[in-house]
Structure 1
Amino acid sequence: MNIEVFRDYCLSKKYATESFPFDKKTLVFKVAGKMFALLGLDQQPSTVNLKCDPEKSIELRVQYNDVIEGFHMNKKHWNTIIIEGDLPTHFIKELIDYSYNLVVNGLTKKTQSELGFI
C-alpha cells in the first residue's frame, strides 16, 4: 500500500480529519480529536502507527515481520506498520479499521451519540 492509498482510506472514515500537529513530516489522522493513525512522510519504507489492543499488538508483532512496536508511541497500545512491505492492502485496511474503531469505542457515549455512532 502506498501513502496516497493509506491517506485516502483514513479520510474515508466517518468524521476523520488530518493535520500536522507535531511537525511537517508526521501526518496525523483523528476522529473526534483523538488520534487513530500517524503517517511518517519521510520514512523509507513508509511506516504508519496504528492503535491496537495490547494483546492483539503482541500477536501481530509475533506473526508479521512488518508489524513492530510503536515508534515514539506507547508500545503497549500502538504498533508501527511497514505499509510498503509484505502486508496485503486489505489487511492494512483491517488494521486501520481496528484502530479507528478502538478510538470511536473509547469516546464517551454522549460524543458517540452526537456523532451518530450509536
Structure 2
Amino acid sequence: MNNIEDFREYCLSFKGVTEKFPFDETTLVFYVMNKMFCLVDIETFEFCNLKCDPDQAEELRAEHNGIKPGYHMSKKHWNSVYFNSDVSPKLLQELVVNSYDLVVKGLTKKDQTVLKEM
C-alpha cells in the first residue's frame, strides 16, 4: 500500500466499514459500526493511527522504529504506524486487521449481530 488510494481501498474492504472526515478536510477516519479503527492524513500520507492491545502496542514500539505512540490519540490504546519505515506491508495489513478486530470485539452484541448479517 504505497498510496492513499490503495490504503483506502484496503480499509474499505472490511465488512461494515464507512469513512468520514469528522475533524478536518485531510484526516480520513475509517469506522466499523460508527467506531473508529483507523485514521490517516490524506495529504501527507506519512502514517496511520491504529487501535492496538496495550501490551502488544508496547512490544511493537520496542521492535519497530516506525511504530510510535498514537499521535493525538490515547497512547495506551493507539499506535501511529509509519508507512515508509521498518514496518513491512504485511505487518501493516496485519495491524489494520487487528485494529478492526479489536473494535468489533468491543461492539455491543446487537451491533456485532448486525455486522455479521451484512
Q: 2:47 aligns to what?
A: 47
CA distance in 2 between counterparts of 1:81 and 1:72 reads 13
How much does 1:8 deviate? 1.0
| 8 Å contact kept, 2:67–2:87 | no
Spell out structure 1 runs of 4+ moving beyond 4 A: none
Identify the residue that residue 22 of structure 2 maps to in structure 1: 21
* Unmatched 5+ stretches in structure 2: none
Q: Distance in 2 between matches of 1:19 and 1:116?
A: 22
Measure how far apart 1:115 and its partner are: 1.8
**If the length of structure 1 is used for normalisation, what is the TM-score?**
0.92
- Whole-Å separation in 2 of the counterparts to 1:91 and 1:5: 16
Q: Per-residue displacement from partner, 1:60-112 (whole Å, max 9, x unpaired)?
A: 00000000000000000000000122322111000000000000010011110
The 2-side partners of 1:33 and 1:13 are apart by 14
- Is residue 59 from structure 1 mapped to residue 59 from structure 2 by the alignment? yes
Q: TM-score, normalised by structure 2?
A: 0.92
Q: Which runs of 5+ in 1 are unaligned?
A: none
Partner of 1:77: 77
Aligned-residue Cα RMSD (Å) equals 1.3
Percent of aligned pairs with the same residue? Answer: 51
| Letter in structure 2 aligned against 1:27 | L
Question: What does residue 94 of structure 1 align with?
Answer: 94
